[in-house]
Every structure is written in C-alpha cells, then in structure tokens.
Amino acid sequence: MGRFQSLATAIAGAALLAPPPAGATPRGHVVVIANMKFGPVPPHLKAGDTIIWINKDIIRHTATAKDQTFHVDLPPGGSGKTVVPGPGRHAFYCVYHPTMTGLLSASK
C-alpha cells in the first residue's frame, strides 16, 4: 500500500467519523482507461465514494491527483481503487504519461 493510498484511506476514515446525511451511502464508480485516454468521469461524485479505475491498455498507468489527494498504480489490464476526496475540483493525470489528464468534481 503506497503512501498516497494510505492517505486516501485516512481521508475515507475521517469522512466516516462525520455522520453522513441520510441516504448518502458511499457509492462505487468506474473510470475506464483505453488507448492512452481516461474515459468519462461520472458526474455527481460525492466525497467518500469509491472510484474503480480499469486500465484496458497493455501498458502501466496511474491515476494521480495533482493536489495529491489520491494516487493509484494501474498495471496493464488491471485495475485499482481510490476514494473520492473532499469537495471541489480535482485535476488528475498519469505520472508516466503526463499528457493523459482528467478532472473530477466532488460534492459533500
């Protein structure tokens, strides 16, 4: 488990300490990477939700927040999980291929 992932876990843990508003069970979302591009990021993400990143390429990628709120290494044909960070807009990229970028918006 990497430093960023531990950090993401810690953030998720902290989010659990505050009682979530009724009906705000954390949800799972999927972002697919194919042919050197991040696919669409689902709208209406909430802090504490989970994102599963699926790497369909034959090369290794990462999904890494520019503000360092999440980071996960994605082996070829593999996947990884991160927790949606606190409310706001979070730009992300692949550390190996910095031309691969995306943006996610999280609400409370």
Partner 1 sequence: MIAKTLLASASALLLSVSPTTLAAESPTDPQIAHIAYTAGLLDVHAGEQALRQAADPAVRQFAQTMIRDHKAVNQQAIALLKKLGLRPEPNATSEKLTSQARDTAAHLGSLTGRSCDKAYIRNEVAFHRQVNEALSNSLIPNARNAQLKSLLENGLALFQAHQSHAEHLLSQLK
Nearest distance, CB of residue 36 and partner 1, angstroms? 4
Say if strands 61-65 and 71-74 run parallel, antiparallel, or are unpaired: antiparallel
Which of these segments, 8-16, 46-54, 78-86, 94-102, binds partner 1 (CB under 8 A)?
Answer: 94-102
Which of partner 1, Cu ion, none interacts with 18 (beta carbon under 5 to 8 A by kind)?
A: none
Q: Mask: binding to partner 1, 35-64, rule CB under 8 A, as x and -?
A: xx--------------------xxxx----
| Contact between 90 and 77 (Cβ < 8 Å) | no
Residues 4 to 43 in contact with Cu ion, rule: CB under 5 A: none
Distance of CA 73 to the CA centre of its chain: 11
In degrees, rounded to 5, the angle at the alpha carbon of residue 25 between the alpha carbons of residues 9 and 52 is: 50
Cross-strand partners of 80: 53
- Tokens standing for 102? 């995306």
State yes or no: residue 91 binds partner 1 (CB under 8 A): no
Which of these segments, 17-25, 45-53, 82-90, 98-106, binds partner 1 (CB under 8 A)?
Answer: 98-106
